[in-house]
Amino acid sequence: MESALITGGAGFIGSNLALELERRHPDIRVTIIDDFRSGEFSNLVGFRGDLVAQDLASLDLLSRFRLGEFQVVFHLASITDTTVTDARQMIWDNVEGFRRVAEFARLSGTPLIYASSAAVYGVCHLGRMQEDQPACPANVYGFSKTLLENLARRYADSSRDCRIVGLRYFNVYGPGEAHKGVAASMIYQLARQIRAGRRPRIFKYGEQARDFVYVKDVVEATLLAADANHGGVYNVGSGRPTSFNEVIALLNKALETDHNPDYFDNPYPFYQPHTEADVTRARAELGYASKYPIDRGIAEYVKQLMETDMKQPDVHEQ
């Protein structure tokens, strides 16, 4: 691979993808588009490529880049905070940004890999979630991702040369998410609470389950999608749900602590009580298989968090 465009490349998954591309392909030319509303420059320390700091939804890609300039386009730019309720802002950013990228990819004949989400399943599907189940988003974020998938199918149907792959990321966690604050994964939030000596706070009574998937698995799936010879939509998860009570137990083990949960009422009517990816299609057609079960992922992540904190200057020395 010689060239790639990544939208949202300063964000959590995007920065991990950019750095992994450069690690695997030392001579690759990676260009990032990110307006830094939810990106973080420190995620890209060591990045060797170019960066365009503009709002994707209003950026004229056809005047900024040459058709055929990139071998692949990875579209990860998005408002990812699922608690945002401003429908106009969410749909403008997520859908219009995608529309511009999809049109650019179609005209240049460039494969497009884009981030969808398990949020498209909503609360209608509480068992194993399969790609052929109808979308049933419970919030505007999930609705915006459903619209992306609708647009992707339209572009794919309009041109045989238009290869578009959508990836329904489940509950991603790992290095590079700290800048997201309250929108970072619950694994990050709970780890920080425990390390601060506080009881980890979760909704009553911790039995809700999530398909937590480590960011390294997500990056691998995204790169595999770039090599796919056809389009489609695929689940990207671990294939196994883990309850929040189990997460706290694993964090206590990794941190060598013993903090009991602090349960409180769930204020969100659209909250998904269970996510579980059926990854059969991704395994068969992309060759994807999770390499980080939850215990391994949490152990590696906690080690990274502790090493990062140790590198931070003490507050009294600043």
Which residues are part of the catalytic machinery?
141, 180
CA-to-CA distance for 84 and 47, rounded, in angstroms? 30
Burial 266-288 (b: 16+ CB within 10 A, else e): eeeebebebbbbbbebbeebbeb
| Separation of alpha carbons 95 and 147, rounded Å | 7
Residue 158 CA, chain-centre distance (Å), reads: 28
Which residues have CB under 8 Å from 246's CB, separation 6+?
294
Report phi then psi at 46, rounded to 5.
Answer: 95, -10
Helices (H), the chain: 12-24, 61-64, 87-91, 97-108, 140-158, 186-195, 215-226, 244-255, 280-286, 294-311
**Residue 153 identity (one-letter amino acid):** R
Q: What is the DSSP string of 155-221?
A: HHHH-TT--EEEEEE-EEESTT-GGGGGGS-HHHHHHHHHHTTPPPEEETTS--EE-EEEHHHHHHH
Please name the residue that has the structure tokens 């590198």.
311
Q: Is 236 helix (H, G, I), strand (E, B) or coil?
A: strand
Contact 164, 231 (CB under 8 A): yes
